[in-house]
Structure 1
Amino acid sequence: MHFSGIIDRWALYDLHRKRSKDKHFSATFIADIDDREEFYSANIADVSIDLNESKKSYRVGTFSYESLIQSGNLVNDTLKGEVFLNENDIDQPNVIFVHGWRMDSYDRIKKIFHNRIMNDLGWNMYYYSLPYHFEREPENSLYSGELMISANIDRTIESTRQAIVDLRALIHWIKANKKGSVIIVGVSLGGWITNLIATLESQIDVVVSIFYANRLSYSIWNTIPGKFIREELEQNGVTYEDLIKYWNITDPSQALPKVNKDNILLISAKHDQYIDLKDADYLWESWGKPTRYVYNCGHSGIVLCRKKLANDTLSFIRNKIKR
């Protein structure tokens, strides 16, 4: 096995030292959902911006709004993220970062992009929090993101819907209140969300998806991160074919992107132990092979290939928005 794959395996061992103690299985929502447009439809968010600090040429603070999809959990249904706005914001590009599963801070993403953008480019930055992560994690959750992706088939679907609808609502707010381009950069699970929203939202100017998942059912059934969720599903009689059917509405490769294909960058890792490269290939081929880089590393490349990730991503974006 490649050295990067070994690092991934070690990280996954450490990851699974903290795993769900409670059983999550539920499958009450069995009906097919055919209308993707209706299921993920969104209005503009009522975004509140609280800027309480100045840093270099930026005003720094938080953005928040009530989720457009109510889960019934008050903590999860209030969305809050970090925002960095250029003080000279006339038509600066707006970059939304979408983090990965089980991340408990934005640090991994910030270490790749944040200083480069702040020091050299001056773009506005928004750090978006996914359902049941960070401040949205309920008290009964053992770790950040435990309740977003689990053997609870229904809640996983609704969490995905909540993530997409709320992200679209933020995009609509930015488009209504800012003049610059909207760019989405997703990492790992955030890459999957980024890919899914690209098939639904035409107001995105550039999409970058890094070490992304494609079919959630495939990842749960065929990769190490999903093994305990798969185990619980199998204990309750759910087959792989069942799961594909139930989670079909969350599959980015079931639709073509509404974003210009030339403005999409996909980045994968050849030795990734979190994401099966075959499934990443499947999305790339389904979308007509947009620009793609395959790094000679594992998922650990998020940490080990920061400079390359930043260079490739920011060069691609600058070329597309001519900034």
Structure 2
Amino acid sequence: MNQHIFFDNLTATIGALATGKKKFFSQSLKSQGFSALINNTEIHLSGKFQEGTYELEAETPVGILDPAFKVVKWHGNNFPTIIYHHGNNERPFDFRKSAKNTFFQIFVNSPEEIKANLIVVRAPFHNSSIKAYQEKMTDLQNFATMIATSVKLNEAIISELSSKGCDKILTSGISLGGWVTNLHRSYFNTSTVYIPLMAGTFLGELFIRSKYKKLTSENALKNAEALKNVLNFDEAFKKVNSPNVFPLLGRYDQFIEYQVQKESYTGHPVKVIKNGHITGALNTKALRNHILDVLQKN
């Protein structure tokens, strides 16, 4: 077993022990699909895009949620804009070097200046404790609505940027943020390009067949088809013909399995790094280089 596989397996085992009985979808498997959740979620933005944090309210099928975004760097409307979505249980506004924050490591801690406006999105349920987050994730509709809300916020930001004359917008994200990236392309496709990092379109497979299934409840595993019906969105993604998606996958990823998720991207160029999920997230140089390469070429 190589080190990349080892760390993914270890993380899944520790995660399963930490969640205990509060595993994913242990309380409820009832949920609307992504299309309905996106259509029934409302977020309103207005005002200038100045550097700072914007706390918002989203009206959703599960109540009022708390997404937010932070404009970290604003050069002007004539610069390209990168909208980045964080991974599961990250704290994207925490800029301490010790924080679990891929946005900070990729963009803020970059050895070179990135000549683009930088915006990072915080998903609902990521402004509280891990324990509170785990409690919410026992309900499938909470999980699906969390993703749908980030998708709708991404669209609201893009709409505002476009109205101000920004004509080059890149949507990217890692893991959880990668699913948001791909789902936004599936239902809106208003970003110039999409750069999903270690994600695909077969989200249900993450919970029922990858090593991550250790964190999935027994009831959900016994009702795998119901879970896939809510979470997989490969058909919607494939209906979008635009050559504007530039994914990155880890060859040894035990969560976002390469052999499974690469099928999401038939006909699109896939960058493959020799990492697992954990070591891939730590390989910020490779992630940064991929994003900047796409920025330069598009």
User: What TM-score do the two structures reach when normalised by structure 1?
Assistant: 0.77
Q: Quick check: 1:196–1:251 contact (8 Å CA) kept in 2?
A: no
Q: Residue in 1 aligned with 2:216?
A: 229
Q: Residue in 2 aligned with 1:67?
A: 58
Distance in 1 (CA, whole Å) between partners of 2:22 and 2:217 is 15
Distance in 1 (CA, whole Å) between partners of 2:53 and 2:241 is 30
User: Which of the pair has more CA radius of gyration?
Assistant: 1
Structure 2 unaligned segments of length 5 or more: list them: 94-100
Q: Helix, strand or coil for the counterpart of 2:286?
A: helix
Which structure has more relative contact order (CA 8 Å, sep 6+)? It is 2
Q: Residue in 1 aligned with 2:68?
A: 80
Residue 18 (structure 2) pairs with residue 18 (structure 1): yes
Q: Residue in 2 aligned with 1:169?
A: 156
Q: Quick check: 1:99–1:190 contact (8 Å CA) kept in 2?
A: yes
Pairs within 5 Å for 1:269-284: 269-284=250-265
Distance in 2 (CA, whole Å) between partners of 1:204 and 1:115 is 25
Superposition deviation, residue 148 in structure 1? 5.9
Superposition deviation, residue 314 in structure 1? 0.6
Q: 1:292 aligns with which of 270, 275, 291?
A: 270
Q: Residue in 2 aligned with 1:54?
A: none
Pairs within 5 Å for 1:259-278: 261-278=242-259
Distance in 1 (CA, whole Å) between partners of 2:291 and 2:48 is 27
Superposition deviation, residue 193 in structure 1? 1.2
Q: Residue in 2 aligned with 1:112?
A: 106
The code of the aligned residue for 1:131 comes to P
Q: Quick check: 2:80–2:117 contact (8 Å CA) kept in 1?
A: yes
Q: 1:241 aligns with which of 206, 225, 229?
A: 225
Q: Quick check: 1:50–1:62 contact (8 Å CA) kept in 2?
A: no
Q: Helix, strand or coil for the counterpart of 2:196?
A: strand
Q: Helix, strand or coil for the counterpart of 2:18?
A: coil
Distance in 2 (CA, whole Å) between partners of 1:202 and 1:28 is 28
Q: Helix, strand or coil for the counterpart of 2:54?
A: strand
Residue 211 (structure 2) pairs with residue 211 (structure 1): no
Aligned-residue CA RMSD in angstroms?
2.9
Superposition deviation, residue 44 in structure 1? 6.8
Distance in 2 (CA, whole Å) between partners of 1:121 and 1:217 is 35
Q: Quick check: 1:192–1:252 contact (8 Å CA) kept in 2?
A: no
Distance in 1 (CA, whole Å) between partners of 2:114 and 2:215 is 42
Q: Residue in 1 aligned with 2:98?
A: none
Residue 135 (structure 2) pairs with residue 142 (structure 1): no
CA change 1:63–1:301 in 2 (3 A) is same
Superposition deviation, residue 315 in structure 1? 1.1
Distance in 1 (CA, whole Å) between partners of 2:124 and 2:182 is 17
Q: Quick check: 1:208–1:266 contact (8 Å CA) kept in 2?
A: yes
Q: Quick check: 2:121–2:150 contact (8 Å CA) kept in 1?
A: no
1:150-180 residue CA offsets vs partner (Å, 9 max, x unmatched): 4x23333333322222222222122223524
Q: Helix, strand or coil for the counterpart of 1:268?
A: strand
Superposition deviation, residue 267 in structure 1? 0.6
User: What TM-score do the two structures reach when normalised by structure 2?
Assistant: 0.83
Superposition deviation, residue 63 in structure 1? 2.1
Q: 2:124 aligns with which of 128, 131, 134?
A: 131
Q: Helix, strand or coil for the counterpart of 1:196?
A: helix
Q: Helix, strand or coil for the counterpart of 2:163?
A: helix
The code of the aligned residue for 2:107 comes to F
Q: Helix, strand or coil for the counterpart of 1:300?
A: helix
Aligned residues: 288
The code of the aligned residue for 2:45 comes to D
The code of the aligned residue for 1:71 comes to V
Q: Quick check: 2:56–2:67 contact (8 Å CA) kept in 1?
A: yes
Distance in 2 (CA, whole Å) between partners of 1:20 and 1:50 is 42
